[in-house]
Amino acid sequence: MKLSNKIALVTGGTSGIGLEAAKLFRQEGANVIIVGTNQVRLEAAAGQIGDGVTALRADVTKSGDVESVVSQIREKFGRIDVVFANAGMGLAAPLEAVTEEQIDTQFDVNFKGVFFTVQKAAPLLAKGGSIVVTTSFLNEVGTPGLSILSATKAALRSLVRSLGAELAPQGIRVNAVSPGPISTPFHSKLGLSSKQLDETASAIEEQVPLHRFGEPVEIARAALFLASDDSAFTTGSELVVDGGMSQL
Ligand SMILES: NC(=O)c1ccc[n+]([C@@H]2O[C@H](COP(=O)([O-])OP(=O)(O)OC[C@H]3O[C@@H](n4cnc5c(N)ncnc54)[C@H](OP(=O)(O)O)[C@@H]3O)[C@@H](O)[C@H]2O)c1
């Protein structure tokens, strides 16, 4: 098993990519801590993962919430080996319709949330620890209506390099996994009508060189590679899993 007896924190572990990663990390021997904002979804996810999971409610945009998660992990396990800073969201809007509130919300969750997660968890990581951040193919391409979401992910790509450099002397690795369009509830939360969602889905299937959406487990497997010692000589990098969307 690739994560035998490791302690793995997964934010956004109640749904989609995070939930699949939490299941896979558990199958690979880790004790998994999942974080989300909603108690009902946390309990449902924990039920799917089975034993060896701790579900903690926290809003990653609030540094105090993240601190509380880390202190509960410190008390229960004494350390963290793997951080999958994955919680995220997006709101679609054309340039003229983007509001200040939409900008703040997306940067709060996607950028500040990841930053606080890494900042508060890092002191519990030792040499050999691995941090994986979920970016997006959007940080490499221009997509109408997704300017702010894309910018949050570009900021994360930069953060992975900076924090990789800061934490390398301690033997802690920091990498990103960059998903293409993946079949998760993410898209239904973008604020698009069901007609717009259907049209976008068809357009995406046409644009992706492999002509399909990815599955959450395909991202979970990439996150597992980055989380485990299989990638022991890899830091500051971004593993792109996008059906060729940003690469071809
Ligand atoms: N799906 C795609 O096509 C795609 C493509 C590229 C990148 N990504 C990235 O992949 C990551 C996971 O997305 P997904 O597709 O799995 O979407 P998802 O199914 O909507 O899952 C999002 C997760 O983030 C959690 N979350 C959101 N806001 C939070 C907050 N303030 N505090 C704590 N947890 C919060 C949600 O939990 P609760 O709602 O229970 O709080 C949920 O577990 C995101 O960073 C997303 O940007 C997705």
CATH of the domain at 60: 3.40.50.720
Residue 50 lies in a domain: yes
Residue 155: closest CA among 120, 107, 193: 107
Q: Which residues of 149-159 are buried (b: 16+ CB within 10 A; e: fewer)?
A: bbbbbbbbbeb
Task: Say if 180 falls within a structural domain.
Answer: yes
- Give the separation between CA 67 and CA 76, rounded to whole angstroms: 14
What integer pLDDT is reported at residue 25 of this predicted model? 98
Q: What is the pLDDT of residue 37?
A: 98
Q: Compute, in angstroms, the gap from residue 198 CA to the centroid of ligand 1.
A: 20
Q: Which atom of ligand 1 is nearest to the CA of 214?
A: 3
pLDDT for position 185? 98
Closest CA to 151 of 104, 183, 214, 187: 104
Range of the domain at 39: 7-241
pLDDT computed for residue 181 by the predictor: 98
Residue 1 is assigned to a structural domain of this protein: no
Confidence at residue 136, expressed as pLDDT on a 0 to 100 scale? 98
Contact 226, 131 (CB under 8 A): no
pLDDT value, residue 226: 99
Paired sense of beta strands 80-85 and 31-36, if any: unpaired
Query: Does ligand 1 come within 6 angstroms of the Cβ of 179?
Result: yes
**40 residue type, one letter:** V
**Is 43 part of a structural domain of the chain?**
yes
178 CB within 6 A, ligand 1: no
User: Is 64 part of any domain?
Assistant: yes
pLDDT beneath 70, residues of the chain? none
Q: How close is the Cα of 17 to the center of ligand 1, in Å? A: 7
Q: Is the CB of 214 under 6 A from ligand 1?
A: no
All residues at 6 or more sequence positions from 124 whose CB lies less than 8 Å from its CB, including other chains = 70, 73, 74, 79, 80
HEC sequence for the chain: CCCCCCEEEEECCCCHHHHHHHHHHHHCCCEEEEEECCHHHHHHHHHHHCCCEEEEECCCCCHHHHHHHHHHHHHHHCCEEEEEECCCCCCCCCHHHCCHHHHHHHHHHHHHHHHHHHHHHHHHEEEEEEEEEECCHHHCCCCCCCHHHHHHHHHHHHHHHHHHHHHHHHCCEEEEEEECCECCHHHHHCCCCHHHHHHHHHHHHHHCCCCCCECHHHHHHHHHHHHCHHHCCCCCCEEEECCCCCCC
Q: What is the pLDDT of residue 78?
A: 98
User: Is residue 247 in a domain?
Assistant: no
Relative to the CA of 87, which ligand 1 atom is closest? 24
Our count of domains for the chain comes to 1
